[in-house]
Amino acid sequence: MHEKIIILDFGSQTTQLIGRRIRELNTYCEILPYHSFPADDPTVRGVILSGSPYSVNNPDAFRIDTAALRGRYPVLGICYGAQLLAATAGGRVESAATREYGRALLTEVDANDPLLDGIRAGSQVWMSHGDTITRLPDTFRVIARTDNVEAAAFRVDGEQTWGVQFHPEVFHTEGGTRLLDNFLTQCGCTRDWTPASFIESTVAELKAQLGDDRVILALSGGVDSSVTAVLLHRAIGSRLTCIFVDHGLLRKNEFENVLRDYEHLGLNVIGVDAKAKFYRELAGVTDPEQKRKIIGRGFIDVFDEEAHKLHDIRWLGQGTIYPDVIESLSVTGTVIKSHHNVGGLPEKMQLKLVEPLRLLFKDEVRRVGAELGMMPHLLKRHPFPGPGLGIRILGEVTPEKVRILQDADDIYISLLREWGLYDEVWQAGTILLPIRSVGVMGDERTYENTIALRAVTSTDAMTADWAQLPYDFLAKVSNEIINKVKGVNRVVYDISSKPPATIEWE
Ligand code: XMP
């Protein structure tokens, strides 16, 4: 069992970031709703209390008995967490005269305090608070100040309990990672969490969990399902069967290329060519949601049919990752998204679920994949929607439109790679618009299709900005597409951010 840090989530938007930073410091951590501290877990080494959208003075604020943690474990309160520590020990927290969002500078730092080791006065920190601590309890001592905030950081005498008003987990806090690292040192953490150790312990757990059972898994070509497959394969070898469905809406040559990669990785994979079924069912359908439903249902039908050809399958493998799990536990009650394209399958097929990546962040999934020896191009692949090109062909989907879009997309993605821009963007693709426009080629008037190029920067697809690709690159892509893709005479670039637009057009 890995030693762990528990992060109690009071609903802050940056709670996940705290988790990522701790993991980057090779320490395992779990993010739990504020009220569910695991009392008798011998592997817990320390506790972090997150920020919150609430004021501690709000009657509805999320509260816990901080005295039950203090002294038993090293505790670090961040923002609301710090205010909660102070308020529940007799201090005072009040609405600040001026709310403070963004940059501030530490003016005084107690260099002798181990939490602030290596952090100097003058360092920039990131603030985001409306309340401030106006009186600390008697045993609490200020260890850092800013011009605006008297208790920018405090320590409780005789205890390993600290509070910081700023956010050490965000990029803009200088020395933030150092501070978290110092906290881990105070917790006595040995930093035993690495991709290699994760693989070793997970493979052992999977072997124990699955015994001689057989597992089926749907591969999509994406990072999560691919790493899940390779990890399961490590544990149970050929008792894992993977199904990779070609719904005819993948990128050009994607099915063949990815299938080859999977076989190269030693996976037992069944490739199913179901193009004709999907094209048939999509004929005449123009509504985006209806297209999504047809593609999703069609996928389940094909998967189910293939699974029934196999015997004694007990488990369904899924590439669920930690952000999905945290979201489903969210204390602020956000609705869970149904991300998975195999949603509904476990019930229909009466299978148990096995999700070996459910505790990993996306960047950890990539590092685990690399440690498993997977090819970089498979690990760095952009996200691609389950319904594929079906939602990038606006209006009715036909095989001819798929051909046009695949050719244009292939030119765009290949040039992004050639120009070294592929890894600079979160996601890129082409969209076939349902309009034709007039053009001239040679002496001939044309009346043909328009392709829109989309490329965005993002960290989680929840918000995104259009990528400022160089003009000469866009000129090259436009020229190549118009000259080489029969049926296209115009290319445009989408300069909309999300929100208010979305990444996909449908
Ligand atoms: P939007 O268009 O909502 O997309 O900004 C956010 C991210 O989700 C992907 N996406 C999908 N993925 N099935 C999926 O598996 C879908 O129906 C779907 N719709 C959008 C999109 O590509 C982007 O990464």
The helix/strand/coil state of 227 is helix
- Residues contacting ligand 1 via CB (< 6 Å): 292, 341, 383, 385-387, 427, 461, 498, 502-504
Residue-level pLDDT at 499: 87
Q: Whose CA is nearest to atom 9 of ligand 1?
A: 385
Please indicate, yes or no, if residue 19 is contained in any of the structural domains.
yes
Residues 30 and 69: beta-carbon distance below 8 Å: no
242 carries an active-site annotation: no
* Averaged pLDDT, 468-482: 98
29, pLDDT greater than 60: yes
pLDDT (tens digit per residue) in 385-400 = 999 999 999 999 999 9
The helix/strand/coil state of 87 is helix
Residue-level pLDDT at 96: 84
DSSP symbol at 44: E
Claim to verify: residue 168 and residue 231 sit in the same structural domain: no
Residues 6+ apart with CB under 8 A from 158: 139
350, pLDDT greater than 50: yes
Residue-level pLDDT at 337: 35
Claim to verify: residue 179 and residue 267 sit in the same structural domain: no
Residue 83: give its domain's CATH number: 3.40.50.880
Tell how far CA 11 is from the center of its chain: 17
Say which residue the tokens 């608070």 belong to. Answer: 129
Secondary structure (DSSP) of 276-290: HHHHHHHTT---HHH
Claim to verify: residue 342 and residue 416 sit in the same structural domain: no
Claim to verify: residue 169 and residue 200 sit in the same structural domain: no
Residues 6+ apart with CB under 8 A from 40: none
Q: Among 74-83, 222-231, 255-264, 320-329, whose mean pLDDT is lowest?
A: 320-329
* Averaged pLDDT, 420-437: 97
Residue in 2, 27, 84 with CA at minimum distance from that of residue 50: 84
Claim to verify: residue 244 and residue 292 sit in the same structural domain: yes
Residue-level pLDDT at 345: 64
What is the pTM for the complete model shown?
Answer: 0.86
Residue-level pLDDT at 98: 76
Atom of ligand 1 nearest to the CA of 340: 15
Name the burial class of residue 63, with classes exposed (0-12), middle (13-18) and buried (19+) by CB atoms within 10 angstroms of its CB: middle
SS3 percent helix, strand, coil of the chain, rounded to 5, is 35, 25, 40
Please indicate, yes or no, if residue 385 is contained in any of the structural domains.
no
Q: How many domains does the chain have?
A: 3
Please indicate, yes or no, if residue 506 is contained in any of the structural domains.
no
Q: Whose CA is nearest to atom 12 of ligand 1?
A: 385
338, pLDDT greater than 70: no
Secondary structure (DSSP) of 328-353: HH-TT-PPPP---TTTTHHHHHT-EE
Q: If pLDDT is split at 50, 70 and 90, which confidence band does 92 have? A: very high
Residue-level pLDDT at 100: 81
Query: Of 215 and 101, which is predicted with more confidence?
Result: 215
Secondary structure (DSSP) of 148-180: S-S-SEEEETTSSEEEESS-TTSTTSTTHHHHH
Structural domain of residue 204, as residue ranges? Answer: 195-380
Residue-level pLDDT at 34: 96
Among the three residues 380, 412, 430, which one is the final residue of a domain in this structure? 380
The C-alpha atoms of residue 392 and residue 494 are separated, in whole angstroms, by 13
From the candidates 3, 29, 30, 167, give the one annotated as an active-site residue: 167
480 carries an active-site annotation: no
CA 384 to ligand 1 centroid distance, Å = 7
Q: Whose CA is nearest to atom 11 of ligand 1?
A: 385
The C-alpha atoms of residue 239 and residue 233 are separated, in whole angstroms, by 8
Please indicate, yes or no, if residue 406 is contained in any of the structural domains.
yes
Claim to verify: residue 304 and residue 281 sit in the same structural domain: yes
Q: If pLDDT is split at 50, 70 and 90, which confidence band does 333 have? A: low
CA 128 to ligand 1 centroid distance, Å = 30
Residue-level pLDDT at 329: 73
Claim to verify: residue 54 and residue 77 sit in the same structural domain: yes
- Among left, alpha and beta (phi > 0; psi -120 to 50; other), residue 315 is beta
Please indicate, yes or no, if residue 393 is contained in any of the structural domains.
no
382 carries an active-site annotation: no
Amino acid letter at 233? H
Claim to verify: residue 151 and residue 92 sit in the same structural domain: yes
Output the six-digit token pair for 314. 């007990």
Q: Whose CA is nearest to atom 20 of ligand 1?
A: 385
The C-alpha atoms of residue 377 and residue 359 are separated, in whole angstroms, by 23
Residue-level pLDDT at 459: 81
Claim to verify: residue 217 and residue 342 sit in the same structural domain: yes
Please indicate, yes or no, if residue 150 is contained in any of the structural domains.
yes
pLDDT (tens digit per residue) in 205-238 = 999 999 999 999 999 999 999 999 999 999 999 9
Claim to verify: residue 146 and residue 216 sit in the same structural domain: no
Residue in 317, 343, 307 with CA at minimum distance from that of residue 231: 317
245, 341, 503: residue to mutate for ligand 1 pocket, most atoms within 8 A of CB: 503
Claim to verify: residue 34 and residue 179 sit in the same structural domain: yes
Among the three residues 380, 407, 430, which one is the final residue of a domain in this structure? 380
Amino acid letter at 444? E
Query: Of 257 and 346, which is predicted with more confidence?
Result: 257
Claim to verify: residue 36 and residue 162 sit in the same structural domain: yes
342, pLDDT greater than 80: no
Residue 315: give its domain's CATH number: 3.40.50.620
- Looking from the CA of 10 toward its CB, the CA atoms found within 13 Å total 24
